[in-house]
Structure 1
């Protein structure tokens, strides 16, 4: 079966179906993975190669949008299966791929060792000689196909998106928000920004979205989840919500029940926007299908941002 532009969407199996995607880009008999999910996604990544009638030896690159564990937790295990591949990552992410102990320790401090083992599996280092540091504007060559690495901070300082000139599309990681297919309506995809801890920066995120939009892409490939079009409309939705979320965070700041107040106001914001977008299944269904965890993470990320603003003024 023909796959447009050789771009295969891989459901990594993280959390639930159609929640977390990685991508296989095939050009001729060579291939690149973009993001890889957790350790538990490695069999799915290899199965995607098999379905494309390729072997692990045909893979030249694993490109990471950033090193958050739902995107990159399985990098070490996957690289061990790919004898010819190099790993490409933002300069700020290089040390975490070579020595993931700080990534593990930081996440374990929040979730606990048992949950980390069950959710992500132990993180495996990638040999330093196999890691490529991608400066802004770095081009990955895949059998003559150019994959442009663009630094896109805002969700994380070590984030980059990948622009594929051939398909005129961007692989956006978390910079271009979350858009689950469960929430599509007759008006198309519904989208929200992601401000999950710990490096949300609204000004940088606005700039990064605009930078991607300036490429005039036909589509965005999101980690959460899949290909979306109507790019200009979605970008406008993201910009409006970033501003609204910042305003809600500032209103909640200083209140004794800041977390609960902010979480409730974010839930109300997303439900109101979903209704305007044609969502008819109610607020409870909206959160149960997709957004409950994201509302919590966005609340936590906005709180970290608020505290960072205060610390910078002190």
Structure 2
């Protein structure tokens, strides 16, 4: 069952229930929010067919930001959607028209073989199909208002999308990560993402509060799915942002800073998960969070070098 025509799509990136895109259907038309990678496109088209919609009935692809797990498949997907336009933060628009810089940056980190396997070659989006979404920009899905809100903190080119009809937010990475494997009787567990290279704790705190001011019924995260009771979860996010920043500052001058950050973040999350009632061991925690711990440590290191010199 879907609520307000919102369909959750597992993009297949990394593992099941790790990376989501969303299809919104209204009055016989559709909008995708985020799209995963090139390899995700068949799954998105399958979701469209399951919703009994033709590719010509999709009006919009809205990107929360241009990190490749959210936007890498945009050009490939739009090649299948003849009437759709791409909506993106003004800072991200040029990277969609010419993704060479996105590719080069990721290539330097991962190498060509991993890039091809994980993401596929990035396809440019024709400039005339790109709509820039400054703060407050409204996307009209056949009378259904989808309001784009500038929400930096994870990335400077990040928007969240407020669906006024459903009273929910599509938060990309601004409202953190919540994997169903950590759900307990207390509900979902959530943690911030400080992925390189634009983490800004002050901005992230403010963006979270801005979303809460809308009093949404739920948040739809890219990683992963719908979470209810956002007010309680926001408190957890604020606490962990501050704890992660404090850890980073305490380790700023050590020689093996990255390795110590990885260990310290692992212990921090283990402690909070135990308080949440999760009974997994360190091996299970590492299985589910190793990628995020590594990226969070990298992002905190970049933040220390940039803002705390």
Q: What's the TM-score, normalizing by structure 2?
A: 0.99
- Equivalent position SS for 2:91: helix
Instruction: Answer yes or no: is 1:24 the counterpart of 2:28.
Output: no
Map 1:67-216; keep pairs closer than 5 Å. 67-216=66-215
- How many residue pairs are counted as aligned between the two chains? 309
- 1:310 offset after TM fit, Å? 3.8
Which residue number corresponds to residue 302 of structure 2? Answer: 304
- 1:287 offset after TM fit, Å? 1.8
- 1:61 offset after TM fit, Å? 0.1
Which residue number corresponds to residue 222 of structure 2? Answer: 223
Which residue number corresponds to residue 52 of structure 1? Answer: 51
State the 4+ residue runs in structure 1 displaced beyond 2 angstroms: none
CA distance in 2, matches of 1:3, 1:186: 24
- 1:59 offset after TM fit, Å? 0.1
CA distance in 1, matches of 2:150, 2:104: 26
- 1:283 offset after TM fit, Å? 2.1
Q: What whole-Å deviation, never above 9, does each CA across 1:222-258 have from its counterpart, x for those lacking one?
A: 0000000011110000000000000000000100111
Which residue number corresponds to residue 34 of structure 1? Answer: 33
- Equivalent position SS for 2:255: coil
**Greater shift in the superposed pair: 275-284 or 136-145:** 275-284
Which residue number corresponds to residue 9 of structure 1? Answer: 8
CA distance in 2, matches of 1:134, 1:225: 24
Q: What's the TM-score, normalizing by structure 1?
A: 0.97
CA distance in 1, matches of 2:213, 2:187: 22
- 1:3 offset after TM fit, Å? 1.9
CA distance in 2, matches of 1:257, 1:42: 40
Q: State the superposition RMSD in angstroms.
A: 0.7
CA distance in 1, matches of 2:308, 2:266: 25
- 1:286 offset after TM fit, Å? 1.7
Which residue number corresponds to residue 289 of structure 2? Answer: 291
CA distance in 1, matches of 2:256, 2:103: 30
- 1:161 offset after TM fit, Å? 0.2
Which residue number corresponds to residue 242 of structure 2? Answer: 243
